[in-house]
Amino acid sequence: MGCCSGRCTLAFICGMQLVSVLERQVIDFLGYQWAPILTNFIHIIVVILGLFGTIQFRPRYVTGYAAWLVVWMTWNVFIICFYLEVGDLSRDSDLVLTFNLSMHRSWWMENGPGCRVMPITPPPSWAPEDHRYISISGCLMDFQFIEVAHSSLQILLALMGFIYACYVVKLISEEEDSFDFIGGFDSYGYQGPQKTSHLQLQPMYMSK
């Protein structure tokens, strides 16, 4: 019963992770954030494998999923520090998230709740010709805090997934050890065929 409950909870957490990271992947595609796009893709694959291992009683898959969650949480902590500009990090850097391939920023910068985007004409002389120069105002929440909220949600889900993954691996291992100790089919009351004697007694006649 405990294993079933733990597996169902872990499967639910994996489903929540898939939904949330797919939403995040779409947003990162719209913002041309190439590093998050690559990391999100790896996370999607690992979560699917973890879900498969949970359903099919594959502890190795669940263990690999738990190990990846440590990396995933570390990545999201870095994203939080990046957008909050902790230390020498700067969210205006093009190298970190876009691999210096574009000057795009978070999609939420222009599309956050309440944001009004106004094009500025004429653009300044230093602005690239293939980019528009805009002014953003009226946002109810700055884009960096929205990104921080997304990463915080991912850390929370990953932490819950890590705890339940360890719990499920422990239960599956205990069940396998119990099965081996009992002796496999002996736990089902299996009894092997018993030898029967086919020796028949014949009457003996003695002559006088």
Tell me whether the omega of the peptide bond preceding residue 203 falls within 30 degrees of 0, making it cis.
no
User: pTM for the whole thing?
Assistant: 0.77
Please provide the average confidence, as pLDDT, over all residues in the chain.
81
Instruction: Answer whether residue 65 is part of any domain.
Output: yes
**Counted domains in the chain:** 1
Nearest to 116, CA basis, from 145, 136, 132: 136
Nearest to 79, CA basis, from 149, 136, 13: 149
Instruction: Answer whether residue 111 is part of any domain.
Output: no
More confident residue, 140 or 178: 140
pLDDT above 60 (res 15): yes
**% of the chain beyond a pLDDT of 90:** 43
Instruction: Answer whether residue 197 is part of any domain.
Output: no
Task: Supply the pLDDT for residue 53.
Answer: 93
Average pLDDT value for residue range 72-80: 96
Instruction: Answer whether residue 194 is part of any domain.
Output: no
Q: Do 23 and 63 touch, CB atoms closer than 8 A?
A: no
Average pLDDT value for residue range 179-197: 49
Task: Supply the pLDDT for residue 186.
Answer: 47
Instruction: Answer whether residue 78 is part of any domain.
Output: yes
Instruction: Answer whether residue 134 is part of any domain.
Output: no
**Close Cβ partners of 31 (under 8 Å, ≥ 6 residues apart):** 104, 105, 106, 107, 108, 109
Instruction: Answer whether residue 32 is part of any domain.
Output: yes
Instruction: Answer whether residue 109 is part of any domain.
Output: no
Range of the domain at 60: 4-103+142-176
Give per-residue pLDDT as tens, 95-134. 677 766 666 678 888 888 888 888 777 666 655 565 666 7
